[in-house]
Structure 1
Amino acid sequence: MKVQRIGLTAGTIRKVDIASEISDQESYPYLMSFAFDLATLKASIASVGLINPPILREGERGDMEVVTGYRRIRAAHELGIQEIQCMVVSCHAMNANHALLVAFYDNLATRSFNVIEKGLALEHLSRFHTAAEIVETYMPLMGLAKRKEVYEQYLRIQRRLTDSVKWALAKGKIQLKTAEILLEADEENIDIIYSYGKQLNLNANQWHQFVDMTVDLMKIEGVSARDLFDELGISSVIDQDIKNVPQQVNTVLDILRSRRYPKVTSTQKLLRRKFAAIEMPPGARIIPPPNLEGTEYKLEVLFKEGSSLRANLLKIANDPNLISLEPPLSEGLKVFEGHGDKKGPRK
């Protein structure tokens, strides 16, 4: 792997007015920061000042571009500092690609990139370098596999996801695999799905289930996310003022699961009825395999001493309703063949 040697052309140190010279978003064409916390940096600047001056690239008309130090500039601005010392390099001495590589290596040397920042870096690099060069040379430096499909995945995330979804991804609220499923929808539906999920305050695993089932159902039924949520009553569940948020989340996921996997859901209902018919002693329960993907049930029994365990096990074993309980797959086949649960799923 050949890495281009990057040198920094000498510039001049001068005071720069933050508000007047670099407040425009166009001043950050090399930005590789997203969803960051300035608290520690602000405390440092407030205590000892700005130790390392940001590097700015000055255009022919005196306009400034931030090459390095975006976070430092933001922190100083939030502290009410009007002017800061910067190293200013002429655009004639540092072209745009040179400035980008200085920014890239400066960030690499001081911190790790989050998921979105990797996409930002790849997006910037794509302006000056071929996909093959980026995959071979720059992606390994960010801990990414040298595969073109990974490169394209990060570009899709950078170009198509809204800032709110990117923030959730950068903070680990949603997983990369969840974001990939979201990208199967258009921008309007992505916004709606994210808005509904955010109101439920989902954890990462719940987010994945919510997005996976929603996008699947949208494709299967040919409907928008909003129409799907309205038809299933999910909009009403979310709009309710329910203090028990976990219960609300479970309700929404159960609704989606029933629609996406109607036969599995019907089998689970059938099993719950059979479990209820078995007279279980206190502290005992039968647990089916998750999503009915296993071949065995699990019996859980709480007991204080051996004699009570023996009595409870005998009570369970002698219950006549236990004989009707067949293996999970057999119970499922009853539903698949139209037996057991007479109420069919909605089409």
Structure 2
Amino acid sequence: MTYLRNRDNCPLIRLNINDFSGQPGAFCMSYGFDNSQLIKSINSVGLINYPYIVKNRDQQIELITGFRRILALKELNVKEVSCFDLTDLDISPYEMLMLAVYDNLFIREFNIVEKSLIINMLSQLVKGKGLLNEVCSLININQKDYKLFLRINMLDETIKQFISRGVLHIKTVESLISMDKEDALLLSDWINKLKLSYSYQLQCVDYLNDISRINKTSICSILNDTFFTELLRDEKKNIPQKAREFMDHLRVKRNPEFSKYQKLFEKTVKNLNLPVNVRVQNPQFFESKGYRMEIDFDNGKTLRNTLMEITDIKYNLEALKDPWLNESDEI
């Protein structure tokens, strides 16, 4: 952008702060931000980086860069602001957009929603793939995700706030886009309240989609189940505990045989009549191989005695096997 290398090309003018509406303009790409630090900075040392503006045919001000700075100045009750005026430079809308991108790019990273804003603005100004690919690379968007980022801006504002705060994984966002609006809103709210990790989010979406398809019901109906609503209200459990129980219950609803196998295994262990200091545990939801035996003992002698005792044929340890091999047994 050679037209900006010499600031003499851009006259610095003084404008009344009320000439700016305080609403995001056509080239604004700030979303979900906290302006407190910027306000402190301007209050301490003044405005260092002046906004860029153009005037339309009606002489109304259009802000190209500096939306957050204008908001900060309004908060500080500043009456006037100096701005660089690009009106007479005959700059194209695409060049204005790129000016705004570079103005932000070297002082911060764009969040996912801001990248979506840029992609949507760009799609209206540029048709050639070359420039699209160049900008995608500039703001760290994989070209294959271009259409996804186009659609993110169409999501509900509540969901976009979650996205901008880093609550939702990009793969989760992709799934939310294809959901019914009410389903997407409720699911994103649950993810936020339970602070689900990214891996939990992906599993959660898979489970809910499967349960919804199998039972021919909406995701809202699943999440409004009494078990889930009571879990959320349970003040005795912390957030990680609630998240684990939430995921465990979804697994069982998705795979009801888990519950059946658990009962079969517990029945087998109970029938062994093992000593009270011996416990046998199955892997959670039988998702991994191998079982676990725990023995409480006071010293090596009691451990040896316990080991000798449980190997007695009367305990029939050979009965311990994968529960689906015992499905013919009654629960």
TM range (shorter): 0.7 to 0.9
Find out whether 1:228 has 2:222 as its counterpart: yes
Distance 1:157 1:316 in 2: 60
Q: Secondary structure at the match of 1:45?
A: helix
- Once the two structures are overlaid, the 10-residue window that deviates more, 100-109 or 76-85, is 76-85
Q: Deviations over 1:205-254 (max 9, x none)?
A: 44444333223322333322333334x32464257453424444444333
Find out whether 1:7 has 2:3 as its counterpart: yes
Task: Give the Å deviation of 1:192.
Answer: 2.4
Q: Deviations over 1:263-283 (max 9, x none)?
A: 23432343344455664765x
Q: Which residue of 1 aligns with 2:172?
A: 178
Which letter maps to 2:264?
A: L
Instruction: Determine if contact 1:122/1:134 at 8 Å carries over to the other structure.
Output: no
Instruction: Determine if contact 1:174/1:208 at 8 Å carries over to the other structure.
Output: no
Q: 1:60 to 1:294 in 2, by over 3 A?
A: same
Task: Give the Å deviation of 1:102.
Answer: 0.8
Distance 2:10 2:300 in 1: 82
Instruction: Determine if contact 1:6/1:101 at 8 Å carries over to the other structure.
Output: no
Instruction: Determine if contact 1:54/1:67 at 8 Å carries over to the other structure.
Output: yes
**Unaligned stretches of 5+ in structure 1?**
343-347
Task: Give the Å deviation of 1:33.
Answer: 1.8
**TM-score for the superposition, normalised by structure 2:** 0.82
Instruction: Determine if contact 2:280/2:291 at 8 Å carries over to the other structure.
Output: yes
Find out whether 1:153 has 2:148 as its counterpart: yes
Instruction: Determine if contact 1:68/1:103 at 8 Å carries over to the other structure.
Output: yes
Instruction: Determine if contact 1:237/1:252 at 8 Å carries over to the other structure.
Output: no
Greater C-alpha Rg? 2
Q: Which residue of 2 aligns with 1:144?
A: 141
Task: Give the Å deviation of 1:177.
Answer: 1.5
Task: Give the Å deviation of 1:162.
Answer: 1.8
Q: Secondary structure at the match of 2:289?
A: coil
Q: 1:275 to 1:47 in 2, by over 3 A?
A: farther
Q: Which residue of 1 aligns with 2:286?
A: 292
Which letter maps to 2:140?
A: G
**TM-score for the superposition, normalised by structure 1:** 0.79
Q: CA RMSD in A?
A: 3.2
Q: Which residue of 2 aligns with 1:106?
A: 103
Q: Deviations over 1:114-147 (max 9, x none)?
A: 2222222111111112372355312122223333
Q: Which residue of 1 aligns with 2:205?
A: 211
Q: Secondary structure at the match of 1:139?
A: helix
Percent pairwise identity: 27
Q: Secondary structure at the match of 1:94?
A: coil
Distance 2:252 2:329 in 1: 16
* Corresponding residue pairs, total: 325
Find out whether 1:66 has 2:72 as its counterpart: no
Select which of 299, 317, 324 maps to 1:322: 317
Instruction: Determine if contact 1:334/1:340 at 8 Å carries over to the other structure.
Output: yes
Distance 1:213 1:39 in 2: 40
Distance 2:270 2:304 in 1: 21
Instruction: Determine if contact 1:6/1:98 at 8 Å carries over to the other structure.
Output: no
Distance 1:198 1:123 in 2: 26
Distance 1:289 1:173 in 2: 30
Select which of 248, 259, 264 maps to 2:253: 259
Which letter maps to 1:129?
A: V
Q: Secondary structure at the match of 1:85?
A: strand
Distance 2:280 2:238 in 1: 27
Instruction: Determine if contact 1:67/1:100 at 8 Å carries over to the other structure.
Output: yes
Distance 1:46 1:295 in 2: 62
Q: Which residue of 2 aligns with 1:118?
A: 115
Select which of 221, 237, 242 maps to 2:230: 237
Task: Give the Å deviation of 1:191.
Answer: 1.4
Instruction: Determine if contact 1:277/1:321 at 8 Å carries over to the other structure.
Output: no
Task: Give the Å deviation of 1:50.
Answer: 0.7
Which letter maps to 1:151?
A: Y
Q: Secondary structure at the match of 1:152?
A: helix
Q: Secondary structure at the match of 1:223?
A: coil
Q: Deviations over 1:129-170 (max 9, x none)?
A: 2372355312122223333xx1112222222x2222222223
